[in-house]
Amino acid sequence: MAGHRPFSELRDKMSPERRRRVEARVAKTLAEMAADEARTAAQQEHSSTAALDESAPDTAPTGASSFVPNVNPMMDRENEE
């Protein structure tokens, strides 16, 4: 294909100063990526811990406040017979 060249040719044409700037930018980006991955892992750890807390069995409340009337009148009629 026309115009396709190895990346090493482009790098070879760069000045040493330009190469240092590129290397510094790459190092900074890699450090940011590592920090972001660590942050994401910590968030996932936190969310999985929260999910474990939510999955604990709840005890149903007892007493008059927990009464749920039957909303289907047909069911009431069947139970009376």
pLDDT, tens digit (0-9, with 9 covering 90-100), for 7-41: 899 889 999 999 999 999 999 998 988 888 888 88
pLDDT at 63: 56
Work out the average pLDDT over 44-60.
65
pLDDT at 16: 94
Between 50 and 67, where is the model more confident?
50
Mean pLDDT of the chain: 76
Percent of the chain with pLDDT over 70: 57
Q: What is the 3-state secondary structure (H, E, C) of the chain?
A: CCCCCCHHHHHHHCCHHHHHHHHHHHHHHHHHHHHHHHHHHHHHHHHHHHHHHHCCCCCCCCCHHHCCCCCCHHHHHHHHC
